Amino acid sequence: MPWGPLEAAVRLRWAGLPLTAQKTEPFKVFDNIYYVGIQVVGSYLVTTNAGLILIDTTYAETGDLVLEGIRKLGLDPANIKYIVITHQHADHFAGAGRILQVAKGARVGMSQADWEGVERLQASGQGNNGITLTRDLVIKDGDAITVGDTTLKVYVTPGHTPGALAIDVQGKSDGRSFRSLIPNTGINPSPDLTRPYIASMERLKGMGPWDAVLPVHGFLAQVDLPLEPRDLVFAARQPAPRPKTAHPAALGPAKINEYFDAMLKVAREKLATEQSRTTTSSR
């Protein structure tokens, strides 16, 4: 995928270290959206006038880091009303049980397919899948989650997992709104999910225009690779100028469409390879 070299470098940086070493400072993305995840796995906090919405919870071992990050922002995790899990991988759901011990009244939501996946993982006893979750909110395609003055629109977009979710949320800054997407753009190695992935990415692109994409992993960001020595030298000293009217997280529809096109190109190449192998093996 387009981010392959960046992902490899990021994962190598933290290889062999305990997950808790990935602690990082929370930061504001928009006036109402904050990053409270760890170095390699994202978690976003959406603030409203009636409580908080948490999107993804990182690993079981790092759920406490998410809670700490929320508190560092001056917010109380006990005010979380919803925890939305974007997909069934442990680095996104396993911290939820710990967070629920603090956010006692929060509801946890996933798609039907990914609830089933989480239940299988937690029943297997393999790996650290956190405190066992009881199935709660089953999110269907097109559902809306509303807390106070804020509504998230949620779409079931199979591909990364059978029931991966994409979240449409309005980022607010200085009286302006930016239509922001939290998608699952990672492609799954399974041939069974290649066609669903393509359909989901085509759908999300067609649902635009999007102002910003907030990645569930930092390395999935829209960074032009490979970087040249000149880019690396000047990036630290002379950041590329942005239009004064733009928000730092808002790359705009044209750039985001290029991002989707790059992912779709690789996914279609993957599909062609899989089809070729199937044809060859059937001879």
Top-confidence residue, 219 or 160: 160
Q: Which tokens belong to 121? A: 């993982």
- Angle at the Cα of 221 (from 247 to 40), degrees rounded to 5? 115
Lowest mean pLDDT among 60-69, 197-206, 225-234: 225-234
Banded pLDDT at 219 (limits 50, 70, 90): confident
Q: Which of 265 and 227 is assigned the larger pLDDT?
A: 265
Q: Which two tokens stand for residue 124?
A: 């297997």
Q: What is the pTM of this model?
A: 0.93
Question: Predicted confidence band at 9 (pLDDT cuts at 50, 70, 90)?
Answer: confident
- Over residues 195-218, the mean pLDDT reads 97
For the cut 60, the answer to whether the pLDDT of residue 164 exceeds it is: yes
The answer to whether residues 211 and 178 touch, using CB atoms and an 8 Å cutoff, is yes
Query: Candidates 2.60.15.10, 3.60.15.10, 3.40.50.970, 1.20.1250.20; correct CATH number of 4-276?
Result: 3.60.15.10
| Model pLDDT for residues 228-254, shown as the tens digit of each residue | 777 666 765 555 555 555 798 999 999
Give the pLDDT mean for 7-28.
94
Confidence of residue 223 (pLDDT cuts 50, 70, 90): confident
Question: Any bridge partners for residue 147, and if so which?
Answer: 150
Written as six digits, the tokens of 5 are 């070299």
Domain boundaries along the sequence of the chain: 4-276
Query: Shortest CA distance to 179 belongs to which of 206, 156, 201, 210?
Result: 210
pLDDT score recorded for residue 3: 84
pLDDT band at 6 (very low <50, low <70, confident <90, very high): confident
In tens, the pLDDT along 32-41 reads 999 999 999 9
The confidence score (pLDDT) of residue 254 equals 93
Q: pLDDT band at 282, cuts 50/70/90?
A: low
